[in-house]
Amino acid sequence: MNEPNGAVNEARPVQVSEGRTARKEATTLRNALLEARGVTRSFGTVQALNGVDFAIHPGEVVGLVGDNGAGKSTLLKILCGALQPSSGQLLVEGSPVVFHSPRDSRERGIEVVYQDLALATELSVLENVFLGREQRRTGILGRFGILDRNAMARDARETLDSLGIEIHDVAARCGLLSGGQRQAVAVAKAIRWGSRVLLLDEPTAALAVMEAEKIGGLVREVVKGEVGVVLVSHNLPQVHELCDRIVVLLRGSIVANLHREDTTVEEIVMWITGAARSRGN
């Protein structure tokens, strides 16, 4: 079944479940916040993505799942401009765009948290939160490029506090934080700036149970507004709990687009492993 929000791939059989909430019906009538159409990407002889259609709507959390090497991170990197597709197209609210780098997608309110955590370890927490968006002092000092560190520190502190992320000192170098704390800062940064779409690649992999739940809560808060979230995770119970829609990648192709209320963790596993296809579903 083809639909405008469809993670639909012509090359393979795709399961699209029928159940909908009223809210989802409403969102599908509007342009997607961000959409990939027919996106293909190869690395040498490796075909990482093969004609992928993927869309994210306002107020929607989409889980992107698949085995190791299925193409999840490659798709996220293409959606934010960190990688270029070999062919295919990106659209923001229905208009074609070309992102030459994540700077271009950032300008459109799209923020990404990479699986391999791209925080600058030699910079402080607050410098990371404001990297590329440094606030200058007002007046003549600002015109000479003097930064307003106090304002940035206050803002970074408020951001972390509002998200319940416990970092003692926002002036501390990120390299001194634990892996989980760094992950939390990266997510906080994305939430602080991502006004349209958050692309989160394994945002809870390094987190303790409580912290992972906190991030889950944050994601649900964020999508109460107009933001859309793409969540890549191997934690399928968490994906099933958090996501409105679950898209399964198998060797670079989308094989299933499942609605949370119509599927189970067991069924998602079957799609990930390819067992669902081989059973003829």
**Which helix (H) or strand (E) is 22 found in, with range?**
helix 22-28
Residue nearest to Mg ion (CB): 73
Residues 86-125, one symbol each (x = binds ligand ATP by CB under 6 A, - = not), give: -----------------------------x----------
CB 171, min distance to Mg ion, A: 32
CB 114, min distance to ligand ATP, A: 10
State both tokens at 184: 């939390």
Q: Is 46 in the site for ligand ATP (CB under 6 A)?
A: yes
CB 57, min distance to ligand ATP, A: 23
Q: Is 50 in the site for ligand ATP (CB under 6 A)?
A: no
Q: Is 204 in the site for Mg ion (CB under 5 A)?
A: no
Distance of CA 273 to the CA centre of its chain: 23
Picking from 194, 216, 217, the residue whose alpha carbon sits closest to that of residue 203 is 216
| Residue closer to Mg ion (CB basis): 49 or 160 | 49
The residue to which tokens 């779409």 are assigned: 197
Q: How far is CA 127 from CA 160, 171, 215, 242, in A?
A: 13, 8, 22, 30
The partner in contact with residue 71, picked from Mg ion, ligand ATP, none with C-beta cut-offs of 5 to 8 angstroms by kind, is ligand ATP
Q: Is 85 in the site for ligand ATP (CB under 6 A)?
A: no
Q: Is 235 in the site for Mg ion (CB under 5 A)?
A: no
Q: Is 71 in the site for ligand ATP (CB under 6 A)?
A: yes
| Residue closer to Mg ion (CB basis): 25 or 116 | 116
Q: How far is CA 2 from CA 15, 17, 19, 254, 260, in A?
A: 10, 11, 15, 13, 18
Candidate ranges 42-50, 149-157, 180-188, 191-199; the one touching ligand ATP (CB under 6 A):
42-50
Q: Which residues pair with 254 in a beta bridge?
A: 249
116 burial type by CB count under 10 A (0-12 exposed, 13-18 middle, 19+ buried):
exposed
Q: Is 73 in the site for ligand ATP (CB under 6 A)?
A: yes
Q: Is 68 in the site for ligand ATP (CB under 6 A)?
A: yes
| Residue closer to ligand ATP (CB basis): 99 or 114 | 114
Q: Which residues pair with 36 in a beta bridge?
A: 54, 90
Distance of CA 259 to the CA centre of its chain: 18
| Residue closer to ligand ATP (CB basis): 69 or 142 | 69
DSSP code per residue over 118-166: ---TTSBHHHHHTTT-PPBPSHHHHHTT-B-HHHHHHHHHHHHHHTT--
| Residue closer to ligand ATP (CB basis): 46 or 120 | 46
Kindly list the residues in this chain that would bind Mg ion in the complex (CB under 5 A): 72-73, 115
Kindly list the residues in this chain that would bind ligand ATP in the complex (CB under 6 A): 43, 46, 48, 66, 68-74, 115
